Chain A
């Protein structure tokens, strides 16, 4: 009579750990396969979790309210119905209670945060997900004309839990669930913008923006120019962009260079929570169409979590995230996460790297990039998009045209690989950026390879 371990399940593609929001069974309960046994808090939502086996609950290994339990950790033991409770294995209880159930506010003890600011011990950090929600809520409180529309933004509270609480606060006239109809609702939002409102359109992911590309490019971006400056389109189009985790080719593409090539659009792709909040507030207040690219992996990522200030972050201004003297790394979005790791690896071999977070990719802050390269004389660009027609390609050309004499080495562009995103875990990993590749590029431009 063997006991069966029930493991913490992975209930979303990006879930690495989870919490037990509620146990729906207690020791001694008889359960059938398919019965609900717990409510599990994932990185996106609270999900009901069913047993896959028949049996009797012997023991709950994790207390209700526990969180940050790694996927595949045993959370309960069941025995099949014939076995007695005496057979049960005694296992040490896993207790990992945090002070509060709100897992979004992380207790950081390290001194590095997503925005490069020093963190004092015990200081509350905000996730990117919370920062975006707070920016939306604050702007909606300030300006009656701001509204949010998209698939699952209202009652579901966002496919990625970004719009939590907004429907409750602002009601269904301002937080609007749309049908699955990207082309239509993007055009509709553009019309609402022409009519004097300030729509924020959420794409469940930017992969679906392709459906709406005509309205984004031909309507949102061009109408101001075509109307001789009469009719602006104050719209924000936002949502996760780039690869998530094993969702394969049609759901894993970084569109930053596509949008960045279009005059009339502004394009931002923040990394840290503070930048996400400050830039989104700026985007909503901007009278021009702004493409606001988020990243699913960064929503809850510790390296991107940061303190939040109330300051607006200006669109078009880069930030020197790490100061250094030997090489300039220019990156944005999730590229920053890999770059931060590469900076550490380089430090171990005594190479001092300066890391610039572009934050905005249209307009680009050339000045900050050029000033850094004048100091380091070397440059590497890091971004997740395909390597052809990337922002790195453009920056390389700009650097050559403007400050060629300052370069001591060719610029290297680190990008995602030139293939549609594969599904298999190992292939996906190989197709994406990684810190080792960046380190190799750093060694190469410093002639240390």
Chain B
């Protein structure tokens, strides 16, 4: 790979992170306008995690996560229009308006949701990995969960089986420091979440989840370990959520200064942009990307607002196949 090719790869990573940021900002705005209802969990601040992981994903690898899932979907290559239309509850959405923010899927992009119950996606992710092993393909399932879910019992049931059966699953703990309003030190007896697999002989590693290249590098090694038949791997991504747990969160559990400090010093997109700038990427190139994303976000928003609601006759469809 030439230096320029490498930069282009990096720019694509930058573009994806920015797309997620702008998408989420727009989603927050539409929520405020009453266009999006229910629960809406924004991913702003955590972009480097999912984009870094995605950068080493191979064709056939699956992704599954919890309800803070918009970033994962965009990163998988799902169409922002379909995601936004689902948020607004329209029939053009990925789940035809029946899933909403927390429940979206795309089999063709190997994205398996979008799960609303904290921790429930983890055994399902191991099951996807089980299907890879059963079919003897080399695919890996990237199974995300948060620091809050890390205290769910089924996580440890899954660790045990994944290790026992050497399933190709990378467990990615997105530690954004708060399980809803409870900081990790108030909820966890031990803070080293990456070492929670020790009892099951699952190797774990702490990763700076605000640095997309570090995320990418760590994930590459973990995935390789899985593909080689060595069983599961845990990556704890140290990250931070800028917005509240959901849109209705007054965020009284942390100070404005704390959030501002992270934004100033650790912002994954700004820092990566500086890095690329120092590597020789021109102002113009950033501007071009900015413009392109602005266009696709307003297109997505417009599509989501203009699209029609589901037909009432759809109410009883898709209960059974």
Cβ of A190: which chain B residues have Cβ within 8 Å of it? 123-124, 127
With both chains docked as a complex, state the minimum distance between the C-beta of B156 and any C-beta of chain A, in angstroms. Answer: 8
- Do A187 and B134 touch (CB < 8 A)? no
Contacts A181-B160, A287-B321: A227 and B95 contacting too (C-beta < 8 A)?
yes
Q: Which residue of the partner chain, among B98, B130, B132, B321, contacts A232 with CB atoms under 8 Å?
A: B321
Q: Which residue of the partner chain, among B115, B134, B158, contacts A173 with CB atoms under 8 Å?
A: B134
- Do A188 and B319 touch (CB < 8 A)? no
0/1 string, A184-196, CB within 8 A of B gives 1: 1111111111111
- Do B127 and A191 touch (CB < 8 A)? yes
- Do A187 and B130 touch (CB < 8 A)? no
Cβ of A229: which chain B residues have Cβ within 8 Å of it? 96, 317-318, 321
Q: Does A263 sit within 8 A of B, measured CB to CB?
A: yes
- Do A183 and B105 touch (CB < 8 A)? no
B139 (CB) vs chain A CBs: closest residue: A195
Q: Which residue of the partner chain, among B94, B120, B157, contacts A218 with CB atoms under 8 Å?
A: B120
Q: Which residue of the partner chain, among B93, B123, B317, contacts A187 with CB atoms under 8 Å?
A: B123
Q: Does A147 sit within 8 A of B, measured CB to CB?
A: yes
Cβ of B319: which chain A residues have Cβ within 8 Å of it? 224-225, 263-264
**Of residues A189, A196, A214, A225, which shows the largest number of chain B Cβ atoms within 10 Å of its Cβ?**
A225
Cβ of A1: which chain B residues have Cβ within 8 Å of it? none
- Do B95 and A228 touch (CB < 8 A)? yes
- Chain B, interface residues (CB within 8 Å), range: 35 or more
0/1 string, B99-129, CB within 8 A of A gives 1: 1000111110000111111001011111111
With both chains docked as a complex, state the minimum distance between the C-beta of A195 and any C-beta of chain B, in angstroms. Answer: 3
Q: Does B161 sit within 8 A of A, measured CB to CB?
A: yes
Complex CA distance for A26 and B160, rounded to whole angstroms: 48
B157 (CB) vs chain A CBs: closest residue: A184
Q: Which residue of the partner chain, among B98, B128, B134, B320, contacts A194 with CB atoms under 8 Å?
A: B128
Q: Does A73 sit within 8 A of B, measured CB to CB?
A: no
Q: Does A349 sit within 8 A of B, measured CB to CB?
A: no
Cβ of B126: which chain A residues have Cβ within 8 Å of it? 184, 187-188, 191
Complex CA distance for A186 and B116, rounded to whole angstroms: 17
Complex CA distance for A197 and B120, rounded to whole angstroms: 19
- Do B99 and A226 touch (CB < 8 A)? yes
With both chains docked as a complex, state the minimum distance between the C-beta of B319 and any C-beta of chain A, in angstroms. Answer: 5
* Cβ-Cβ contact count across A and B, 8 Å cutoff: 143
Complex CA distance for A223 and B116, rounded to whole angstroms: 11
Q: Does A209 sit within 8 A of B, measured CB to CB?
A: no
Q: Which of A191-235 contact B (CB under 8 A)?
A: 191-197, 214-215, 218-219, 223-232
0/1 string, B151-171, CB within 8 A of A gives 1: 001100110110010000000
Q: Does B135 sit within 8 A of A, measured CB to CB?
A: yes
0/1 string, B165-198, CB within 8 A of A gives 1: 0000000000000000000000000000000000
Contacts A184-B158, A184-B161: A191 and B115 contacting too (C-beta < 8 A)?
no
Complex CA distance for A147 and B105, rounded to whole angstroms: 25
With both chains docked as a complex, state the minimum distance between the C-beta of B151 and any C-beta of chain A, in angstroms. Answer: 14
A174 (CB) vs chain B CBs: closest residue: B134
With both chains docked as a complex, state the minimum distance between the C-beta of B78 and any C-beta of chain A, in angstroms. Answer: 12
Complex CA distance for A179 and B131, rounded to whole angstroms: 18
Cβ of A3: which chain B residues have Cβ within 8 Å of it? none
Q: Does B66 sit within 8 A of A, measured CB to CB?
A: no
Q: Does B62 sit within 8 A of A, measured CB to CB?
A: yes
Q: Which residue of the partner chain, among B64, B104, B124, B320, contacts A188 with CB atoms under 8 Å?
A: B124
- Do A188 and B321 touch (CB < 8 A)? no
With both chains docked as a complex, state the minimum distance between the C-beta of A178 and any C-beta of chain B, in angstroms. Answer: 7
6 further contact pairs, Cβ within 8 A, besides A184-B123, A266-B320: A185-B161, A187-B154, A188-B126, A195-B130, A214-B120, A228-B97
Top 9 A-B pairs ranked by shortest CB distance? A191-B127, A195-B131, A184-B157, A187-B123, A228-B96, A191-B124, A229-B318, A228-B95, A226-B103
Q: Provide a sorted-by-A list of 13 A–B residue pairs whose CB atoms are within 8 angstroms.
A: A179-B161, A184-B161, A187-B123, A187-B158, A196-B135, A218-B120, A225-B98, A226-B113, A227-B99, A227-B318, A228-B94, A228-B97, A230-B95
